[in-house]
């Protein structure tokens, strides 16, 4: 194993860097897109169900199908990492738009009412009150999206792009287990670290969730 | 002064929540809306700060129609307290209270300093300032709700069943503090409750609404108790309204008889017991209500209430037939 690592560390690092990039850029773009889309599902209640259904359908498209189909749609090269980024952004939006909508809907109506009664206008109320109160739900969705993206990137290796997934395909091609093990360990570790990072962020930005009613 | 001028509210479903309501809420006084569930109390209250817009008619605050005003700016001048307080769970107590001053453009520091003073006013020590609402009891949350509504020193306060989510003992305490605060602050308050006792205790003016959002009667608590306009009001204020009405008269006009040797006193002249060992069962002063005197006369084993002066020295006796005569005269005079 150590010979494999010392001979291939450059390849492994490149794969890891690519993996991080391919997984997390879509999380960021998807999150930014999901906020307004999710909000629309709350602002206009008739939009909520179409939104949830659309998200459900999008999320259920098999990733490989999407990776293969996107180049046709976007006119990109089949080996372009852009396909992966776009595909994962679609999944992230599908997951987070619904989470944002559900998070905002979970905010106690009394809290929203009292904010309105105190003289908040709609936008400031959203930013100062509704989003912060919905944050625990939204961040839970963000964890799912991040971890799921990290595992989906590997699928991209089947079409030739895919960060750590390339270590799997190489291992299979050569009947050689070491790259496979390294690939698995690194992608699990990456998912774990990202998950922990978000949990840490959550503790930092929502200190109030630590106090449950009656358990203070 | 808040004026309801022929206000009607019909909800989209077709139900009439408020039906041609015209009334005035005097400046600096507490006006309590009371009535059975669904009679349009909350609707009436929310039309004042435009959370709900009337179908027809006008609401004026000091002569200015609320309809012409910017919603958000109007609401920042009107304190609002609801049942369960509706506090922001993600903000500390201090920042909850600082909300409206900050909306009005005060710096965070300024707003927080003012908020700290307000917490004290509503009877919460500084140790609560950094807690989150989830770390407070229901009664404490309600106090924070009141402090938050008071924070920008609004001339008008709306309170929708502010004390109904807490147990009777806590409610009693909150009532006392409400009366104390209101005596200091003299806000123009519109309050909603479904509890007639609370209305009578806290209201300078009581508005009784009936099903369908119609005004049944408006008046001081005593007017409602002494002269209910109809069966509905009489029933609503309760069968013991005669006794309750006595809460509003003091014992100042009540004649007393001189002390007799039957009442044993200590060396300072304070009553100890009756000669045959029966306890006096309590005393009253001229400032106490006729209701208390009645209660003392009824429960006293010898049927006599004992009056004392400010120092606790016995200075008169009221046997219960004297009390009955006085009450009969009082009724005749009304
Ligand atoms: N948004 C709404 N749409 C349709 N009808 C409504 C709406 N809000 C209230 N109503 C109806 O209007 C009437 C008055 O409601 P309101 O909430 O003002 O009553 P309330 O006196 O505050 O009652 P409670 O003591 O139960 O709080 C009720 O019959 C209610 O069903
Ligand atoms: Mg109500």
CATH code (residue B69): 3.40.50.300
Residues of A in contact with B115 (CB under 8 A): none
A71 at interface of B, judged by CB pairs closer than 8 A: no
Of A119, A133, A207, the CB nearest to B103: A119
B193 lines ligand 1 (CB under 6 A): no
Tokens of B294: 């009645």
C-alpha of residue B42 to centroid of ligand 2, in Å: 4
Enumerate residue ranges in chain B where pLDDT < 50.
none
- B106, part of any domain: yes
Q: Are residues B123 and B29 in the same domain?
A: yes
Last residue of a domain, one of B238, B273, B291: B238
- Residue B14 Cβ inside 6 Å of ligand 1? The answer reads no
Closest CB from B72, B73, B135 relative to A211? B135
Q: What is the pLDDT of residue B150?
A: 92
pLDDT, mean over chain A: 90
Does A116 contact B51 at a Cβ distance shorter than 8 Å? yes
Largest CA distance in chain B: 74
**Are B234 and B259 within one domain?**
no
Tell me which chain B residue has its CA closest to the CA of residue A205.
Answer: B90
Task: Kindly state whether B135 is in contact with chain A, defined as any CB-CB distance less than 8 angstroms.
Answer: yes
| Burial class of residue B303 in the structure, from the number of CB atoms within 10 Å of its CB (0-12 exposed, 13-18 middle, 19+ buried) | middle
> Residue B44 C-alpha to ligand 1 middle, in angstroms?
10
What's the mean pLDDT in A107-129? Answer: 95
Does the beta-carbon distance from B84 to A110 stay under 8 Å? yes
Pair (B147, B56) in one structural domain:
yes
In a shared domain, residues B230 and B256:
no
Chain A, chain B: beta-carbon pairs less than 8 Å apart: 69
A120 touches chain B (CB under 8 A): yes
Question: Is pLDDT of A103 > 50?
Answer: yes
Q: Are A113 and B82 in contact (CB < 8 Å)?
A: yes
Q: Which residues, in sequence order, are CB contacts of B257 under 8 Å at separation 6+? A: B316, B317, B318, B319, B322
Show which of B238, B273, B290 is a domain's final residue: B238
Q: Which listed ligand is nearest to B213 at the C-alpha? A: 1
pTM, entire model: 0.83
Question: Which whole number is the average pLDDT over A82-104?
Answer: 94
- Å from CA of B42 to ligand 1 middle: 7
- Between A157 and A59, residue with greater pLDDT: A59
Average pLDDT over residues A39-60: 94
As a whole-number percent, the residues of chain A with pLDDT over 70 amount to 98
- Given a cut of 50, whether residue A59 has pLDDT beyond it is yes
Angle at A187 between CA A182 and CA A192, to 5 degrees: 125
Residue that is written with structure tokens 């670290």 in the block: A193
B325: how many CB neighbours lie within 10 A of its CB? 11
Confidence of residue A2 (pLDDT cuts 50, 70, 90): confident
Average pLDDT over residues A54-67: 90
Are both B176 and B290 inside the same structural domain? no
Question: B49: nearest CA in chain A?
Answer: A117
The domain of B275 spans: 251-333
Handedness of CA B215, B220, B222, B227 (dihedral sign): negative
Ligand 1 atom 22: residue of nearest CA:
B42
Ligand 1 neighbourhood includes B208 CB (under 6 angstroms): no
Give the ligand at the shortest distance from the Cα of B209: 1
- Domains of chain A by residue range: 2-215
pLDDT at position A213 over 60 = no
Same domain, B277 and B130: no
B188 plus B283 within the same structural domain: no
**Closest alpha carbon within chain B to A133:** B90
Packing angle, helices B168-185 and B138-150, rounded to 10: 20
Question: Residues B115, B152: one domain?
Answer: yes
Q: Are residues B110 and B205 in the same domain?
A: yes
**Does B78 map to a domain?**
yes
B46 touches ligand 1 (CB under 6 Å): no
Task: Check if A206 contacts B (Cβ < 8 Å).
Answer: yes
Question: Are both B288 and B215 inside the same structural domain?
Answer: no
Q: Do residue B142 and residue B267 come from a single domain?
A: no
Say what the ipTM of the complex is.
0.85
Residue A214 clears pLDDT 50, i.e. is over it: no
Between chains, do B72 and A120 touch, taking CB under 8 Å as contact?
Answer: yes
Residue that is last in its domain, among B205, B238, B271 = B238
Please tell me the total count of domains within chain B: 2
Residue A54 has pLDDT above 90, yes or no: yes
CATH class of A2-215: mainly alpha
C-alpha–C-alpha distance, residues B57 and B4, integer Å: 8
Which atom of ligand 1 is closest in space to residue B44's alpha carbon? 18
Q: What is the CATH number of the domain that holds B271?
A: 3.10.580.10
Minimum mean pLDDT range among A66-70, A107-111, B213-217, B267-271 = A66-70
């Amino acid at each position: 194993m150590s010979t494999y690592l010392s001979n291939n560390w450059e390849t492994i690092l490149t794969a890891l860097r690519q993996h991080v990039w391919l997984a997390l850029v879509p999380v960021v773009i998807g999150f930014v897109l999901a906020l307004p889309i999710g909000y629309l599902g709350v602002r206009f209640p008739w939009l909520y169900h179409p939104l949830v259904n659309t998200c459900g359908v999008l999320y259920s498209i098999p990733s490989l199908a999407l990776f293969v189909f996107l180049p046709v749609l976007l006119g990109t090269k089949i080996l372009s990492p852009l396909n992966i980024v776009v595909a994962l952004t679609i999944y992230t939006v599908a997951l987070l738009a619904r989470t944002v909508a559900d998070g905002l809907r979970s905010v106690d109506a009394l809290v929203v009412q009292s904010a309105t009664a105190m003289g908040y206008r709609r936008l400031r109320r959203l930013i100062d009150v509704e989003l912060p109160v919905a944050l625990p739900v939204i961040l839970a969705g963000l964890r799912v999206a991040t971890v799921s993206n990290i595992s989906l990137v590997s699928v991209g290796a089947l079409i030739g792009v895919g960060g750590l997934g390339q270590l799997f395909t190489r291992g299979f091609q050569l009947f050689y287990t070491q790259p496979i093990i390294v690939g698995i360990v690194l992608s699990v570790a990456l998912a774990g670290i990202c998950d922990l990072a978000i949990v840490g962020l959550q503790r930092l930005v929502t200190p109030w969730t630590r106090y449950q009613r009656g358990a203070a | 002064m808040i004026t309801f001028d022929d206000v009607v509210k019909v909800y989209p479903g077709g139900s009439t929540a408020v039906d041609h309501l015209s009334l005035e809420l005097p400046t600096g006084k507490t006006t309590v809306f009371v009535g059975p569930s669904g009679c349009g109390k909350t609707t009436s209250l929310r039309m004042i700060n435009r959370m709900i817009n009337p179908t027809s008619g006008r609401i004026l605050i000091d002569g200015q129609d609320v309809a012409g005003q910017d919603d958000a700016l109007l609401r920042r001048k009107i304190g609002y307290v609801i049942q369960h307080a509706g506090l922001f769970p993600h903000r500390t107590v201090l920042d909850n209270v600082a909300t409206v001053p900050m909306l009005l453009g005060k710096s965070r520091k300024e707003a927080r300093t003012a908020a700290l003073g307000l917490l004290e006013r509503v009877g919460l020590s500084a140790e609560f300032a950094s807690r989150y609402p989830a770390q407070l009891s229901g009664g404490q949350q309600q106090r924070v709700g009141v402090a938050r509504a008071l924070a920008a020193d609004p001339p008008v306060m709306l309170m929708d069943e502010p004390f109904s989510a807490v147990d009777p003992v806590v409610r009693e305490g909150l009532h006392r503090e409400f009366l104390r605060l209101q005596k200091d602050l003299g806000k123009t308050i519109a309050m909603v409750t479904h509890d007639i006792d609370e209305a009578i205790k806290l209201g300078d003016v009581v508005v009784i609404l009936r099903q369908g959002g119609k005004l049944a009667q408006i008046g001081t608590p005593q007017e409602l108790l002494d002269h209910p306009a109809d069966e509905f009001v009489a029933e609503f204020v309760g069968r013991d309204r005669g006794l309750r009405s006595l809460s509003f008269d003091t014992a100042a006009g009540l004649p007393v008889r001189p002390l007799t040797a039957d009442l044993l006193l200590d060396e300072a002249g304070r009553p100890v017991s009756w000669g045959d060992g029966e306890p006096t069962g309590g005393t009253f002063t001229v400032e106490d209500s006729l209701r208390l005197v009645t209660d003392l006369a009824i429960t006293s084993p010898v049927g006599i209430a004992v009056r004392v002066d400010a120092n606790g020295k016995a200075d008169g006796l009221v046997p219960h037939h004297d009390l009955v005569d006085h009450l009969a005269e009082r009724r005749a005079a009304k």
